[in-house]
């Protein structure tokens, strides 16, 4: 039913799953080399489907946790990043892999990385399912990127429009009449 609101599919479920396998191998090789046991920190809520798909492929030791930060109201980045829920685990002297669904303006990742550094983390990396470089206002890149997307508001696979469409198993663009 909600799929009827989609104008076009940008990334199919199969494409996303295949890319998750590649990303997981790359990440695993890097952490095996460093010997670290990282904390994989998902940023709620958008990262949940991607994080689930990714971590089940990891064979190295890791711990998982979640944080909730918010910087969006509808489709608008509101600039300041608020922490709504902090991690449960202590991150001092730990390696952190932040899991994001999308890097857009880059404001969220800049603030989150700053926060982890201030808390005494050894190493902070980021894996994002999507990267929208054309919208960047902060100079920041993720260490691992699933796909680059054009300057369009995308939904599905965790990404929402006003909290809806996160449960779509693919990434798509909504029909223009939905944004009323
Ligand atoms: O690069 P930026 O412009 O900062 O945008 C990226 C952030 O915006 C979205 O989060 P949102 O605050 O909408 O929370 P959500 O994951 O619950 O949808 C998304 O999940 C990223 O965390
Ligand atoms: O394109 C997007 N879609 C959903 N949420 C987002 N948060 C930043 N950019 C986006």
Q: What is the CATH number of the domain that holds 10?
A: 3.40.50.2020
With 90 as the cut, is the pLDDT of residue 12 above it? yes
pLDDT at 179: 86
Residue with CA at minimum distance from ligand 2 atom 3: 154
Name the residue range of residue 35's domain: 6-73+100-160
| Average pLDDT of the residues of the chain | 94
Phi, psi of 67 (to 5 degrees): -135, 155
3-state secondary structure of 48: helix
118: part of which helix (H) or strand (E)?
Answer: helix 107-118
The tokens describing 25, both together, are: 């191998």
Does 168 reside within a domain?
no
Ligand 2 centroid to Cα of residue 90, in Å, is: 29
Phi, psi of 35 (to 5 degrees): 80, 5
Does 175 reside within a domain?
no
Domain count for the chain, please give it: 1
Please give the positions annotated as active site.
104
Asked whether the whole model's pTM tops 0.80, one would answer yes
Higher-confidence residue of 101 and 80: namely: 101
Does 154 reside within a domain?
yes
Does 94 reside within a domain?
no
The tokens describing 99, both together, are: 């899991």
Which ligand neighbours the alpha carbon of 135 most closely?
1
Residue with CA at minimum distance from ligand 1 atom 14: 70
65: part of which helix (H) or strand (E)?
Answer: strand 63-73
């Amino acid at each position: 039913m909600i799929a009827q609101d989609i104008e076009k599919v940008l990334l199919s479920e199969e494409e996303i799953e295949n890319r998750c396998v590649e990303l997981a191998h790359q990440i695993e090789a890097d952490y095996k080399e460093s010997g670290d046991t990282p904390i994989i920190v998902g940023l709620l809520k958008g990262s949940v489907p991607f994080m689930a798909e990714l971590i089940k492929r990891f064979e190295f030791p890791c711990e998982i946790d979640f944080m909730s930060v918010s910087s969006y109201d509808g489709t608008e980045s509101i600039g300041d990043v608020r922490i709504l829920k902090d991690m449960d685990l202590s991150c001092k002297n730990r390696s952190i892999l932040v899991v994001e669904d999308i890097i857009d303006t880059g404001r969220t990742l800049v603030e989150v990385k700053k926060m982890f550094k201030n808390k005494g983390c050894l190493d902070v990396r980021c894996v994002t399912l999507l990267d929208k470089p054309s919208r960047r206002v902060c100079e920041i890149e993720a260490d691992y990127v699933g796909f680059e997307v054009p300057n369009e508001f995308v939904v599905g696979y965790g990404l929402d429009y006003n909290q809806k469409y996160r449960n779509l198993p693919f990434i798509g663009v909504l029909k223009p009449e939905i944004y009323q």
